[in-house]
């Protein structure tokens, strides 16, 4: 989910929160707003790599956004595009056409910089193990069976550490197989939000900036949900925070954290 500012409504577990009661999420680390590193902190680092995810941890982000796909032999890997073409020099094809072993033999770092040569496509299990106890996961499920993914999460006791960006139609299945897991559907245009809030009753809502507004946030909060936004550029940060957004997904997590710190400092003066 990209190219637009997307607000992710996130619930704060603090008991003083009028709309976050009962959501078992850690409070934001920076200025009261969740920082979601899109594809990890990948400036100068291969995106959707363990290195990019580790960088986000080091920066103090609250969540990493990962894109999850299924290999030919039913394994789960993190890669945004359906094809490998944009990531691998001299190789083409769909992720779903390769086995895990074949994908792991490919180098996703060489195209970025010489120092990243040898970087491999990470599995979902590796990502979970890296992030456990350190950072949350914003799971953009491109393809894969919910049951098997939920099992991997439950094995590690990470049900409250993963936000599932899935369609509203798949929320019921997620709740059946993993009642403690946190779904985060996106209504699309704001006109679809009341129906989503009434029928699905999500605790976290995702939205894209072109569909976003102060009233979008107000409706979510009134229904007991929180919101996270995926920005297209830093120009939307001021509005996103001013409108009461609970989280922002960004390609510039380090700069956004600094923005939040400066904003908090100005407010306290």
pLDDT tens digits for 245-256? 999 999 999 999
Give the list of residues 6+ apart from residue 179 with CB closer than 8 angstroms, or none: none
Residue 233 is inside which H or E element, if any?
none
What local confidence, expressed as pLDDT, does residue 21 receive?
Answer: 59
Asked if 229 contacts 247 with a C-beta cutoff of 8 angstroms, the reply is yes
CATH architecture of 6-268: Alpha-Beta Barrel (3.20)
Asked if 8 contacts 249 with a C-beta cutoff of 8 angstroms, the reply is yes
The pTM for the full model equals 0.91
What local confidence, expressed as pLDDT, does residue 61 receive?
Answer: 98
| φ, ψ at 66 (rounded to 5°) | -125, 145
Burial label, 80 (beta-carbon count in 10 A; 0-12, 13-18, 19+): buried
What local confidence, expressed as pLDDT, does residue 264 receive?
Answer: 84
Active site residue 80: yes
Choose, from 3, 42, 80, 160, the residue flagged as catalytic: 80
Q: What is the pLDDT of residues 23-73, one digit of tens each?
A: 999 999 998 999 999 999 999 999 999 999 999 999 999 999 999 999 999
Spans in the chain with pLDDT lower than 50:
1-20
Active site residue 42: no
What local confidence, expressed as pLDDT, does residue 258 receive?
Answer: 97
Give the list of residues 6+ apart from residue 267 with CB closer than 8 angstroms, or none: none
Give the list of residues 6+ apart from residue 71 with CB closer than 8 angstroms, or none: 77, 95, 96, 98, 99, 100, 103
């Amino acid at each position: 989910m990209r190219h637009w500012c997307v607000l992710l409504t996130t619930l704060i577990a603090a008991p003083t929160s009028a709309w976050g009661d009962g959501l078992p999420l850690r409070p934001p680390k920076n200025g009261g707003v969740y920082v979601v590193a899109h594809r990890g902190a990948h400036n100068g680092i291969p995106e959707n790599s363990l290195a990019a995810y580790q960088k986000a941890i080091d920066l103090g982000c609250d969540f990493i956004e990962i894109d999850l796909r299924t290999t030919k032999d039913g394994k789960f890997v993190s890669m945004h595009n359906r094809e490998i073409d944009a990531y691998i020099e001299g190789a083409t094809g769909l992720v779903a056409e390769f086995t895990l072993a074949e994908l792991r033999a490919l180098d996703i770092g060489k195209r970025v910089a010489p120092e990243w040569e040898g970087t491999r496509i990470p599995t979902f299990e590796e990502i979970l193990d890296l992030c456990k106890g350190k950072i949350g996961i914003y799971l953009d499920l491109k393809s894969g069976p919910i049951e098997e993914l939920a099992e991997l999460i439950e094995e590690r006791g990470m049900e409250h550490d993963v936000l599932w960006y899935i369609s509203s139609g798949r929320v019921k299945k997620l709740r059946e197989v993993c009642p403690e897991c946190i779904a985060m559907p996106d209504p699309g245009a704001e006109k679809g939000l009341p129906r989503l809030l009434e029928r699905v009753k999500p605790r976290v809502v995702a939205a894209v900036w072109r569909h976003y507004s102060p009233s979008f946030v107000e409706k979510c909060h009134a229904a007991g949900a929180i919101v996270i936004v995926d920005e297209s550029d830093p120009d939307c940060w001021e509005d996103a925070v001013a409108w009461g957004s609970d989280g922002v997904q960004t390609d510039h997590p380090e700069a956004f954290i600094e923005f939040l710190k400066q904003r908090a400092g100005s407010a306290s003066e």
